[in-house]
Structure 1
Amino acid sequence: MQFKLSLSSWQLIACATGFGLSLPLCFLIFESLQSDPEVFAHLWDTVLWDYIGNTLILILGVALLSCLIALPLGWLVANCEFPGRKHFEWALMLPLAMPTYLIAYVYTDLFDYAGPVQIALRDFFGWQSPDDYWFFDIRTLGGAIVMIALVLYPYLFLIFKTALKEQSPKLVHAAHIMGQSPIQSFFKVSLPLARGAIAAAIALISMEAMADFATVSYFAVSTLTTAVYDTWFGYYSLTAAAKISGIMLLILFVAIMVERYSRRNQAVFERQSQITHEPLYYLTKRKALAATLFASSILLIAFAIPVFVLLGYAIDYFTQAWNSAFFEYAWQSLKVSAIVSFATIVLSIFVVYFQRLTPSAWSLWPGRMASTGYALPGTVLAIAVLLPLTFIEGKLNVWFDSSSWQPGLFLSGTLFAIIFAYIVRFYAIAHGTIEASFSRISPNLDMASQSMGRSPRQTLTSVHIPILRRGILTAALLVFIECMKELPAALLLRPFNFETLATHVFQYVSDEQLELASVAALFIVIVGLIPLYFINRSMEYKH
């Protein structure tokens, strides 16, 4: 007897996915509303406002610096012709493959008092002690802003560059006819038209900046992310940690609402142009040289120098770094990432296909509910996931209290906790990619398949899946790489004696011994380059 999925079955799976993946957030909100008069009140009266202030400064600083880097680069690459432009178009996205804590360690090692930069300066100028000269301290809040922005600016660069290429060049030509210079047309035409795309990219960058744990922890900068970690492990108060997590979510919600409110009466209508329009400006001589130097400097600082330093470490310490621990942790990381990638792809296909079968406003809710986890920083996610898991474990252990067998921590104390947390956090990536791929499939194919007597399941497997292969591969790769790089959730949820490459490398970073994990660090970076390659090829394919 052939198994067939009815419409009610698609609805059940989609709703179960939305409910299950939004459950941690619901538990987190509920837990944050519970009373905890001692720990949270103590934090509120002492250090919490400093944490909030540092977090806001970090978010605003990273967003501002990312704009200063990405907006000029995006405009140059999209609208100007200069030496190396075609290479910079994809190369400037490479820093996305670099975990922030790696670039933070590399530059700390370079700029510390005992680092090669200050040693060279002392030798050249004859300085004898720190009192003879001033040199900036990179392990500060300002240093953390620079390090995080160097890794996150490609989000804004990619989105802004694409938005500029989709704008009609006739609008810029009209501005020129009206006497506007290139700079004036940028601020008065290109930038306002791309405001929505810029806001979306800045929102993403802000979420990633607030979620960063490794860099701020390594630089000893107190933010709400580190406060959650310290409250959990220092005060052993899950409720206080949940309250701090609620503050972080409130900051994100307010920021998004303010931006949307500022655009409430703004609407932009334009005829989209082909994404391959010719450059609007051909830079020559000094301007061309300045554009090339600017793009080269950013690429050198954000990617090339850290990679060359890591490569040097790997060569010098190859014997110590290339060991059985590396292979064990690499296998564990690959295994978890593969499981999560497969699970998110399958779930997102079910949910998005349900939306396609029943096109209505309410059918979008399971996908939206399931995607809420992406807004949760890693430390917050860990708490949010533990709450329902420990609740279930507690109820079952009470249920079996009279028997000789006790389930114990069969969820929160096993690999299931990490896998579930990763699915909650990265489902949104798979859902967005699969949804975009489904939207490009004509409904006529569904009707043709239905007229031939095929069920929804048969239509999905024989018609849609083959067409979706490219989107599925892209989504799987993006989720896979995010899982490989995820650190705070793995640190907090890993079972006893379980390490991933990210936790393995970070432990050596914390001990100032990255050299001994340099091969693992390079492996994370190299694997992170894979989705960037496919994304670039996909964009070329669209051209």
Structure 2
Amino acid sequence: MTEVATLSENWRFRRPVGTRWRLGAAVVGAFACLPIAALVTIASQGSEGLWPHMFTHVLPSALHQTLILLVGVGLVVAVIGTTTAWLVSAYDFPGRSILDWALLLPLAVPTYIVAYAYLDILHPVGAVQGLIRDVLGYQSPREFRLPDIRSIWACILLLGLVLYPYVYLTTRAMFLTQAANVVEVSRTLGTDQRAVFFRVALPLARPAIAIGLSLALMETLNDIGASEFLGVKTLTVSIYTTWVTRNDLPAAAQIALAMLVIVVLLILLERYSRRNQRYAAGAQRPRALVPTPLRGLPGFAACLFCLVPVLLGFVAPAAYLLVEAFGRYQFAGISPRIWSEIVNTVSISALATAFILGCGCFLACSQRSQPGRVTSVAARASTLGYAVPGTVLALGLLVPIGLFDRSVARVSADLFGSSVGLVLLGSGTALILAYTARFMGIATGGMEAGMARIPASLDQAARMLGQTQAGVFRTVHLPLTRPALVSAGLLVFVDCMKELPATLLLRPLNFETLATHLYGEAARGTYEEASVAALLIVAIGILPVIVLSKVGRTRSREASLAATPSSELDSQPSR
């Protein structure tokens, strides 16, 4: 009876702690929904004469080009990402060990940098077209020139070459962890390699392909630099120009909500298309897929297919930036402001990453320790930001942040006789909040996936030993989810560093990052000035991508060893 009374007292004592966890999760989830709520409020103010003008001159072209861009980029990233993931997972060919991680390198290159680089590489008076004319015997661009790269088809190809790693990353993980016996059984039944891919592996990997494809399409909708450089007037570009050129915030908010409806419809359509599909695990223990050796011409073809996206999506633009940056350094040295821009970029991205990981860990831990409607809705709400383009999100945050700054300035003037200025917008805190609202879903999803592998019995044992919920997270969850936390942190840092639309709209005055510096120089056509900033973005971004690929290989190896029966391990010779 004494033990029962003690447990009852502990339960009564701990109930308010659970309430605080749920309340905190609700606050974080409400913050994630704040931009959308603010957009609705702004859009309800109306804009005189907007929609007749939009329906006549803006929306038909913008909507048409946006839909073509989404369909085209979706096809490119799905084909490249899925095929390369299957090749490096199911086959062993020359160069596979290098291409396995090299296929992730385009993640380090923002879309606007690739567009900026290829605009100069394929310029009519550039090196490539000049070399072709020399070989063919032409004297001037009037006699021979390649098709203009400023087109929607070039934009589709370039965005696809940069965004395919989203599909590659998720699909490769699925191929490496799905049951190999399913593939082996299909082979023993006489199914050839091509049929195994289309009839077995591809249907099993469809959820992973859908996740990667949705991320790539979100990034396509979020893009503003590459689309504008290549002359494609998407809805995102229309929002930016409506706000900046027309100075019409309600109009921009209304277009943003219309684009948000398109995003939601894309997600619902994909989920509806696989509503009747179910995936079941076999009774046998899953094993890693054993690669089939490919030699001769098939091995060369597989290597070439995997190598081309790396060359076009990373090597070519990175080499161009390196040459241009070196030429700029020889001619005029490095501008002193580059160093301050490096500090601004790294510091704001690091602060935002730390804050985002803290919010993601809190939501994931709240959902695990206090399961229920509140924590579940809060966790799902945190993923809304990644579905919202940066321009839309910045518009949604601008009004509440501006209202807060004006209120603080008014109170400061009344109490102390002087204004403190723009607290959030002027200090860069608005940027951190925008990054948090946009990328919180990455941290929450990564931590949820990591915690899903931890048995609940470990939590219960730690609580019985007197640990609080925070202590359980510190002593149990954090050590066991460190690989997932590192992976999520690296992705968040790279995305924060590359984010352009929200940074352009919410940065403090005279606060330049490498992304905004590059955008400004490229918009003015001074590519040689922008090359140093672009190269630095790639150099800083490539380090987290390499670490991410190593973490992924380590986790795959551990999963493979964990899935191997102990008898097989004992039978292997010692080394």
Relative to the length of structure 1, the TM-score reads 0.93
| 1:129, distance to aligned residue in structure 2 (A) | 4.1
Q: Which residue identity lines up with residue 91 of structure 1 in the other structure?
A: A
| 1:395, distance to aligned residue in structure 2 (A) | 5.6
Aligned to 1:224: 235
Aligned to 1:333: 345
- Is the 1:39–1:237 Cα contact (8 Å) retained in structure 2? no
| 1:365, distance to aligned residue in structure 2 (A) | 1.3
Aligned to 1:287: 298
> What is the distance in 2 between the residues matched to 1:417 and 1:362?
27
Q: Which residue identity lines up with residue 536 of structure 2 in the other structure?
A: F
C-alpha spacing 1:276/1:224, structure 2 compared with 1 (3 Å): same
Q: For 1:82, which of 80, 88, 93 is the aligned residue?
A: 93
| 1:428, distance to aligned residue in structure 2 (A) | 1.1
Q: For 2:163, which of 137, 147, 152 is the aligned residue?
A: 152
Q: Which residue identity lines up with residue 424 of structure 2 in the other structure?
A: L
Q: Residues 203-232 of structure 1, C-alpha deviation per residue, up to 9 Å, x if partnerless?
A: 111111111111011112100010010000
Q: Which residue identity lines up with residue 39 of structure 1 in the other structure?
A: L
Aligned to 1:208: 219
Aligned to 1:349: 361
Q: Residues 166-194 of structure 1, C-alpha deviation per residue, up to 9 Å, x if partnerless?
A: 33333334434444332222222221221
Find out whether 1:410 has 2:392 as its counterpart.
Answer: no
- Is the 2:180–2:287 Cα contact (8 Å) retained in structure 1? no
- Is the 2:447–2:485 Cα contact (8 Å) retained in structure 1? yes
Q: Which residue identity lines up with residue 343 of structure 1 in the other structure?
A: F
> What is the distance in 1 between the residues matched to 2:367 and 2:118?
47
Aligned to 2:326: 315
- Is the 1:25–1:373 Cα contact (8 Å) retained in structure 2? no
- Is the 2:109–2:541 Cα contact (8 Å) retained in structure 1? yes
| 1:278, distance to aligned residue in structure 2 (A) | 1.0
Aligned to 1:18: 29
Find out whether 1:241 has 2:244 as its counterpart.
Answer: no
Q: Which moved more, 1:424-433 or 1:465-474?
A: 465-474
Q: For 1:128, which of 133, 136, 139 is the aligned residue?
A: 139
| 1:406, distance to aligned residue in structure 2 (A) | 5.0
| Structure 1, unpaired ranges of 5+ | none
Aligned to 2:483: 470
> What is the distance in 2 between the residues matched to 1:193 and 1:469?
28
Find out whether 1:437 has 2:457 as its counterpart.
Answer: no
| 1:245, distance to aligned residue in structure 2 (A) | 0.6
> What is the distance in 1 between the residues matched to 2:483 and 2:293?
35
In the TM superposition, 1:155-166 aligns within 5 A as 155-166=166-177
Aligned to 2:122: 111
> What is the distance in 2 between the residues matched to 1:202 and 1:509?
29
Find out whether 1:424 has 2:437 as its counterpart.
Answer: yes
Find out whether 1:360 has 2:372 as its counterpart.
Answer: yes
> What is the distance in 1 between the residues matched to 2:196 and 2:379?
39
> What is the distance in 1 between the residues matched to 2:286 and 2:220?
33
| 1:383, distance to aligned residue in structure 2 (A) | 0.2
Find out whether 1:370 has 2:382 as its counterpart.
Answer: yes
Aligned to 1:388: 400
1:290 alignment partner, SS class? helix
Aligned to 1:460: 473
Q: Which residue identity lines up with residue 525 of structure 1 in the other structure?
A: V
| 1:65, distance to aligned residue in structure 2 (A) | 1.2
Aligned to 1:502: 515
1:47 alignment partner, SS class? helix
C-alpha spacing 1:275/1:98, structure 2 compared with 1 (3 Å): farther
> What is the distance in 2 between the residues matched to 1:62 and 1:9?
44
Q: For 2:460, which of 427, 447, 468 is the aligned residue?
A: 447
| 1:250, distance to aligned residue in structure 2 (A) | 0.8
Aligned to 1:48: 59
**How many equivalent pairs are there?**
539
Q: Which moved more, 1:67-76 or 1:171-180?
A: 171-180
> What is the distance in 1 between the residues matched to 2:407 and 2:258?
29
| Structure 2, unpaired ranges of 5+ | 1-13, 558-575
- Is the 2:490–2:545 Cα contact (8 Å) retained in structure 1? no
| 1:408, distance to aligned residue in structure 2 (A) | 5.3
2:382 alignment partner, SS class? helix
- Is the 2:125–2:141 Cα contact (8 Å) retained in structure 1? no
1:293 alignment partner, SS class? helix
| 1:414, distance to aligned residue in structure 2 (A) | 4.2
| 1:398, distance to aligned residue in structure 2 (A) | 7.2
- Is the 2:63–2:235 Cα contact (8 Å) retained in structure 1? yes
Relative to the length of structure 2, the TM-score reads 0.88
Find out whether 1:35 has 2:49 as its counterpart.
Answer: no
Aligned to 2:9: none
> What is the distance in 2 between the residues matched to 1:296 and 1:235?
45
- Is the 2:25–2:374 Cα contact (8 Å) retained in structure 1? no
C-alpha spacing 1:398/1:276, structure 2 compared with 1 (3 Å): same
Q: Which residue identity lines up with residue 388 of structure 1 in the other structure?
A: P
Find out whether 1:524 has 2:537 as its counterpart.
Answer: yes
Q: Residues 400-440 of structure 1, C-alpha deviation per residue, up to 9 Å, x if partnerless?
A: 89785556543345412211111111111111122222223
Aligned to 1:513: 526
| 1:342, distance to aligned residue in structure 2 (A) | 1.4
Q: Residues 71-111 of structure 1, C-alpha deviation per residue, up to 9 Å, x if partnerless?
A: 22122111112111121111111111011122112222121
| 1:377, distance to aligned residue in structure 2 (A) | 0.8
| 1:134, distance to aligned residue in structure 2 (A) | 5.1
> What is the distance in 2 between the residues matched to 1:529 and 1:411?
31
